[in-house]
Structure 1
Amino acid sequence: MNKFLIIADDFTGANDTGVKLTEKGTPVEVVFSALNLNPSSSCVVDTETRNDAKNVAYGKVKDIINTINLDDYDIIYKKVDSTLRGNISDELMALTESYDPDYIVFDPALPSLEREVVNGNLLVSGEHLKKTEFAHDPLKPIENENIKKIFEQIYPTGLIRLYTLNELRNKELVLDLSKRYFCFDTENDTDMARVVHLFSGLKGKILWVGSSGLIEELINSQNEYNPSIALVGSVSEKTREQLKCAEKNGLSLVSLPIYQIYSSGDYSRYVKQITNLLKQHKDVIIMSSASYDRNELHKTRRLFKKDGICDEQLGSIVQTVLAGVCRKVISQQKVSGIFVTGGATAKGLLSMVNAEKTIVKEEVALGMPLLQIEGGEFNGINIISKAGAFGDSSLLVFALKKLHSYEKR
């Protein structure tokens, strides 16, 4: 794997980028002085300049960079805060003068925490950054929410290019390499992966600038991993919120019409759809149609009631359909692991594949254990389980990413 040199302006930022490397099995150290750098491995330098005066931050970063042999590293990354706090333009200028990159790529979005860039402006949970509490930080208030304007403070306007969402998502897009300073609108992880892909194989030195989101996609682009799948049968409002967040972050959702499948006894079309998505290296959420749409819940209950099936029996049918689809999919396509909402759904799956037991490995997050299946058809596969009605909106996105990182451990 490539060696990374990450320059962060505070300790927490240094750690939340460094941990992205360790999750992929790459050792990384956070150092407080460039004199402590180990050029044989990836490193993060904590400059502690976020709340310094502009000229002080510039001078510190310039001095640090000038003591490092940048040729020892494959990727140079400037970590910035996902709400644009700190002396971004000043530190970028110091890095640019010392490193002299051919191109600079700026994308501070962090979709998993609802930090997006739209029309060049950073939004937090859909609200303009300048209208949030981050804009009034007592130590370092936000000066600018527009990433193109941050570039314009230090670089020639004619060499700057902002790509909108429509442009970025155009599969025919070719970078305008007459420019040097690139910034991007980004709403989800798929957008961010597209940014990284655009620069893959490009000759010349690149300075990457972003939060922990962009570096995660950079690391993912260099690591082979199998996609993950989730099984969702819960119909709680919390689950619907998590599904919509996952959809917004570019995950593929496959909705199973439970009554239709129950009536026909055939779910082969859905197995084919899911398998095709996994082959495209996409994480997939397999869900009952009622999990996403409240109207589907009422419709499904009504149809089953006509057949004399009560809600308790309906729950068992949902679990059987989800488990059956998952079993068939995994017989055809390898995955990093499975995330399951609801203990009954998880137990139904384990019973169907004749698992003998699970080994508790660790707690991924509060109330979310990582297990390894022993025995049966899914022997050795990692599974994360949680109760249906808890967790923040980004939990599904978080869990599927976690399964990637656990695959090679």
Structure 2
Amino acid sequence: MTTTGIPTREEIVERVAALVPALREQAAWSEDNRRLSEETVAALADAGVFRLRTPVRHGGYECDTATLVEVAMELGRADGAIAWTSSVFWIPTWIAGLFPDAAQDEVFTSPAPRVCGTNSPSATAVPADGGIVVNGAWKFVSGAWHAGWQEIAAILLRPDAEPEPVMALVPMDELKIVDDWHTSSLRGTGSVTTVAEDLFVPEHRIIPMSASIRPQGLSRANAHSPVWRTPAALVAAASGAGVAVGLAKAAREAFFERLPGRKITYTDYEAQNEAPITHLRVAAAVNSIDQAEFHARRAAATVDAKAASGEEWKNEERARVRNDQGEATRLAKHAVDTLVSISGGTSIFLDVPLQRIARDIHAVALHALINPDTNAELYGRTLCGLEPNTLYI
């Protein structure tokens, strides 16, 4: 414990690692019910997982990115849905720290201060006296069932100005939840659709989207904290970089738990661990996990170093953080696929964790901001001296 009463990185990670066996027991329930169990949410809350990116003045830890990567890897060892949902909560919670202090006070002193959200401006807003009125819907809102607030994004339409993307903080009880999360992967994340119908949002809970992209927060209390000096897209990339690595680590554990006593059917190998193909595949998988961990840690180290120095980001540095998340995911997925390929037909049964891990990491790699090919292309583009072709960098 530090002198400020905030736990150290080692203490936080140790606390979360101790939860892994209990969290694994909840994974099947979450998969079947398409959301995290209340027991899981309570355990994560007690461990401080939801406070990692909350301002210190509101009882949070204001953790650096390296801590997020370590925690995400431990949570990924437990369950992909738990790791994904937790890492997604960290991003809109961080965005909330860019809002005026009055908005933060409202959110973080509320009975349910967890913040879910999305950066996709799939709604519209129009000016109203003292704020805006929002109509629209947002898909893929992970953790919506367990949040008290949502960070929303909309296009503000004004008769005398160009359309402007804005972000706003709204209580969940003012939104409608559409229970449409029927998927093959990451089922436990409860990434439902939320809907706003003629929703009034007061002015102090609105910021331009540009304030998070660069960032240029409107908070005075957080203005000097290095935590809020990183562009939002890179906060998201580094926050989630540990999830895929944790899933790969879970696959490694699950494979070796099943290995003793297994044979290779229709061959002379009575013990799978004696077959050269097993040796080659497990070595390849573990090498990929090690490499994935390098990229996840480098993404965090880059973000934390730039935040501490306050130096301006170069395009190549921005793109490399995105690329590191993509590479961590690609390598982790390769490790999982390799281990699954030598796990036999019995690994497809629903009570065998490997099949869920494989489905979950496939879904992670499909996310538009994580997709390895998309991020590699962006990185290569900047290495070739071209400007990025996206705002999310």
> Do the structures match in fold with TM over 0.5?
no
Looking at CA atoms only, which structure, 1 or 2, has the larger radius of gyration?
A: 1
TM-score of the pair, normalised by structure 2: 0.26
TM-score of the pair, normalised by structure 1: 0.25
More helix by share: 2
- Report which structure shows greater RCO (CA 8 Å, sep ≥6): 2
More strand by share: 1
